[in-house]
Amino acid sequence: QIQLVESGGRLVQAGGSLRLSCAASGGVFSNYIIAWFRQAPGKEREVVSAISGSGFSRYFAASVKGRSTISSDSAKSTVYAQIDNLQPEDTAVYYCAAREYWGTKYEPNTFPFWGQGTQVTVSS
C-alpha cells in the first residue's frame, strides 16, 4: 500500500502563494492518480486538483483554476500543488490522496489512500 505525507501548509496573507508537497512511499508512484482535497470547517471535503503519476494528465477545480498548478517529480515520488492569489476562503485542511485507477470523477470516497492533512490559513 502507498503511504502519503503532506507538508507546506502555513499562515499566508491574502494574495500570497504557497506550495504544498505530497511525498509518496510504499507503492509504484506512476500507477496512481494523486489528488489534493481540502476541507474547511462546516464544509464538505472537495477536490482541488489531481494529476496522474506519470504527470501527463491534470485536473483543476473551478475554485482554483487559473491560479494553481500541479506537478509531479517521479524521481522523488512527490506531487506538488502551487496555489497563487490565496484568499480567506482557501483556508482549510489540505489532504493528499491516491487511487490506483483512472477516472473522470474525483469524489473523496473513490480515493482509498490519504495523508494526514496540512493546515492552510489565509488571513485578510
pLDDT digit string, tens, across residues 8-45: 999 999 999 999 999 999 988 889 999 999 999 999 99
Q: For residue 70, what are the CA distances in angstroms to 1, 82, 107?
A: 23, 6, 18
In percent, the amount of the chain with pLDDT more than 70 equals 100
Q: How many CB atoms lie within 10 A of CB 89?
A: 11
Query: d(Cα 64, Cα 18) in Å, to the nearest integer?
Result: 13
pLDDT digit string, tens, across residues 88-98: 999 999 999 99
DSSP string, 68-79: EEEEEETTTTEE
Query: d(Cα 63, Cα 52) in Å, to the nearest integer?
Result: 20
In percent, the amount of the chain with pLDDT more than 90 equals 87
